[in-house]
Structure 1
């Protein structure tokens, strides 16, 4: 199963200057719990936005740079090759960024979205979720609190 996982603003913003534009600690915990132990597929810029590789996950990095070879990662030059190196009988996650989400949407079986209830200026955006192709099967609203400046909703979509 291929799952795309993303935190997405009301205007589909993902981030700016290779950084998230919000801080949601519970979303980080959810991301960690869902992706730990799995292959995670990402673009080079997303990989480089991490201070170090994420523990207990196999990093598959998509890049056009021929000599790119970060330690401990599988490097490929297409979404198809990224998916091919993931075990077919296991869940793998596409984790971004914007270009990789656009390339990966047609391959995904499920979407795990954290909808941030605010609009942001951004330079990376998540593709539109077409209600003719995707059905929301689960939703969980989370209000603003002392650690979360914005309300957010966890949403799970499956392909129709």
Structure 2
């Protein structure tokens, strides 16, 4: 507050040709603020702000992809909450497909038709195809339930992309 008081004391009252002003106008040049006529500094600041905002929007999501995804901490809880009720011993999903999602070993074994995970390649991994809605409607998982949240799909995709490790 003291800084503002000193600056206001330095500002002299200005008389307009038609109206007398009782409030002093502040000379921003003397105060070290931006040049209010040319607006050079605000333009540079605006450009910097736009650039910074663009970088955050563009590269903000890359932080999550760069983080290592853990099977035990990240993927397994999703499978337990959304998939294991059917894909476990005596479950309908296990009977129909042979896919047991109650363990890492069962997941990596795959179905009676073959592997469901291609480590490093989520585009061709059948698990990703099924949970991301890229399969026919009759095959999409979880079957007859709401789809996994996009964030859950992203976690599984990143885990597969990172090699589908048992970590």
* TM-score bracket for this pair, using the shorter chain length: under 0.3
Higher normalized contact order (CA 8 Å, seq sep 6+, divided by chain length): 1
| TM-score, normalised by the number of residues in structure 2 | 0.22
Larger helix proportion, structure 1 or 2?
2
| TM-score, normalised by the number of residues in structure 1 | 0.22
The higher radius of gyration belongs to 2
